[in-house]
Structure 1
Amino acid sequence: MEPVLDWLQITVLALIQGLTEFLPISSSGHLILVPQLFGWQDQGLAFDVAVHIGTLSAVVLYFRNDIRLMITDWTRSLITRQPTSNSRLAWWVILATLPAIAFGFVINNGLEESLRNPLIIAATTIGFGILLWWSDIKGQKIRDEYSLSFKDITVIGFAQALALIPGTSRSGITITAALLVGLTPQAAARFSFLLSIPIILGAGILKLKDLLESAHPVQWQAMIGGTLISAISAYIVIALFLKWINRVGMAPFALYRLALGALLIYLFI
């Protein structure tokens, strides 16, 4: 039976999804820590579907003009064989998603549960936080997302596949890889957010399939509330992150990850 969620749980869990989906700070670390602190049970499949719909809606709405141009130019390029910067960007999003799909099949065939260990999540939160900081220091920061090459996409795509290991942070590892191939922080974040669309969509479809096969009743109030809260918070995060990231850099997020990882070790060791 799906748990009955009160409005505190709905609000907190939806905010966590909206805030951590796009910030490079590890959503899985927070989703383990917060229920532990509040003594909550798992929120259930229906709520997971709702907050995924919310974050997907936010990123699609924010990048709606970019997505329209990418789809239009990509479709036209299939006919004319004349690529544009937007059609190439669409291809890069598609190709960079493939390693995560392949790795996802491996994880779903038995490894996922064994990796959802608090100490593994703590280690990856800390380790990839240090790598994020290092990439911010070492990256050249001179290129935009339209200058990406197939070699760059291979690096970013395989980095995104690592995000299926809990604690890694999908946005964190893809921004790290993009910085290492020379993108500016804002360009790295923009590409990471565009790259999130097929991943969030795929995860949402899989969860929706499981939900439709479940006999448990759906709490529509929790679903609607979770969708709206996660969508609004995610949209704000995307807008503010892209506005300030070139000035702020990755150090604050890396330090936060170190603190979060240390707290997880303290609570679960």
Structure 2
Amino acid sequence: MSAGVSVGQAALYGVVQGLTEFLPISSTAHLRIVQAWMNPGVDQAGFTAFTAVIQLGTVVAVVLFFWRELLHVALAWGRGLVDKSVRHTLEYRMGWYLILATIPVGVFGLVFKDQIKTGARNLWLIATALIVMALILLVAERRGSRSRSEEEITTQDALVVGTAQALALIPGVSRSGATITAGLFRGLDRVTAARFSFLLSIPAVVASGLFELKDIGGAGAPGMGVTVVATLISFVVGLASIAWLIRYISRHSTFIFVGYRIALGALLLVLLSTGALSAT
């Protein structure tokens, strides 16, 4: 991406990021598709840095939406380190669950950081991941018991969901999609799976965003000004997206997202096959 990215383009990227970060449809895939249409031939390493940083806006949205729960978790976890009487509480256990579930994505992110910035952003791979993950989510919806609430989350759940989150390093998989799907396979109800996914996004996305922040304004990456614009817009839109998704899945299945992923993946394959879009 050139340093001359317009404010309007940055605003659009912010809207796309905010809309898609928490829905199980892959924000990375959508940002990459919009970039291929609006800014073709960009430096993928620079664009990866840009998308990682604007995700910080959606992290702030999560923190604001769940601030009471996060505060209780932080206080209980800190007290539990020295006070055994607190260790039976959900808040204390949740602190450890979030730490344990973040380890896999941290390890894999560091090991494959170069591949993530370049070859993994190929649109053929993204189209395939959109469709494959949709089918896996469909199976999870049909087979998951959805009988377990937040109070019943276990260490094993955290490890399984955390490992699934690492799969989202493949663009098109979707971090929320992978973690919600894993939660459903573990028998969590939809709202619990989504809430845990949202909370789990905080350490992973913050670490990624701060790691890439140094590259903003450098060769191939947009400047700080347009990045700030995109980040602020992603925060506002992301906050609304969280509220909507929790209300929606409390009453509906995730089948609408399954259908959307398959349709988008199929459309992308057609556009790539006809040469309307370049894969790299």
Structure-1-length-normalised TM-score: 0.92
Q: Give the unaligned 5+ runs of structure 2.
A: 274-280
Given that 1:47 and 1:226 are in contact with CA atoms closer than 8 Å, whether structure 2 keeps it comes out as no
1:23 is paired with a residue whose SS is coil
Aligned-residue offset at 1:211: 3.3
Residues 1:88 and 2:93 are matched in the alignment: yes
Aligned match of 2:243: 239
Separation of aligned partners in 2, 1:231 and 1:205: 16
Q: Is the 8 A contact 2:5 2:226 kept in 1?
A: yes
User: What's the CA shift string for 1:73-119, capped at 9, x where partnerless?
Assistant: 00000011231110101110110010111111221154652222211
Does structure 1 residue 102 correspond to structure 2 residue 107? yes
* Residues 3, 220 of structure 2: 8 Å contact kept: no
For residues 59-138 of structure 1, the aligned pairs below 5 Å read: 59-82=62-85, 83=87, 84-110=89-115, 112-138=117-143
Residues 190-235 of structure 1: per-residue CA shift (max 9 Å, x gap)? 00000000011011111113338x4799745423321221100000
Runs of 4+ in 1 over 6 A off after TM superposition: 215-218
Give, in whole Å, the separation in 2 of the partners of 1:109 and 1:226.
24
Separation of aligned partners in 1, 2:223 and 2:110: 30
1:175 match: 180
Partner of 2:157: 152
Structure-2 change in CA distance of 1:33 and 1:219 (3 Å): closer
Q: Which residue of 1 aligns with 2:277?
A: none
Does structure 1 retain, via aligned residues, the 8 Å contact 2:25–2:257?
yes
Structure 1 unaligned blocks of 5 or more: none
Given the alignment of the two structures, is residue 29 of structure 1 paired with residue 29 of structure 2, yes or no? yes
Q: 1:48 to 1:161 in 2, by over 3 A?
A: closer
Query: 1:160, 1:217 → 2: CA distance?
Result: 26
The one-letter amino acid of 2:10's match is I
Shift in Å, 1:34: 1.5
Q: Could you tell me which of 54, 58, 64 is aligned with 1:55?
A: 58
- The 2-side partners of 1:217 and 1:12 are apart by 17
- 1:43-75 deviation per Cα after TM superposition (whole angstroms, max 9, x unaligned): 956744652221111111111111100000000
Could you tell me which amino acid in structure 1 is paired with residue 226 of structure 2?
A: A
Aligned-pair RMSD on alpha carbons? 2.2
1:200 aligned partner, one-letter code: V
Partners of 1:29 and 1:260 within 8 A in 2:
no
Per the normalisation by structure 2, the TM-score is 0.88
Tell me which residue corresponds to 2:276.
none
- CA shift, 1:185, in A, is 0.6
Q: CA contact under 8 A between 2:14 and 2:234: conserved in structure 1? A: yes
Q: Which position in structure 2 is the counterpart of 1:248? A: 252
CA 109–133 in structure 1, closer or farther in 2 if over 3 Å, else same: same
Whether the 8 Å CA contact 2:62–2:239 is kept in 1: the answer is yes
CA change 1:164–1:142 in 2 (3 A) is same
Q: How many Å separate the matches in 1 of 2:53 and 2:102?
A: 23
Taking only the aligned residue pairs, the percentage that are identical comes to 40
Contact in 1 for aligned 2:42/2:220 (Cα 8 Å): no
Give 1:260 deviation, angstroms: 0.9
- After superposition, give the CA deviation of every residue in 1:235-254 in whole Å (9 maximum; x if it has no partner): 00001101111212110001
- Cα distance in 1 between the residues matched to 2:203 and 2:115: 23
Aligned to 2:278: none
In 2, Cα distance between equivalents of 1:153 and 1:216 = 37
Tell me which residue corresponds to 2:233. Answer: 229
For 1:205, the aligned partner's letter is L
The number of aligned residues is 268
**More displaced, 7-16 or 161-170?**
7-16
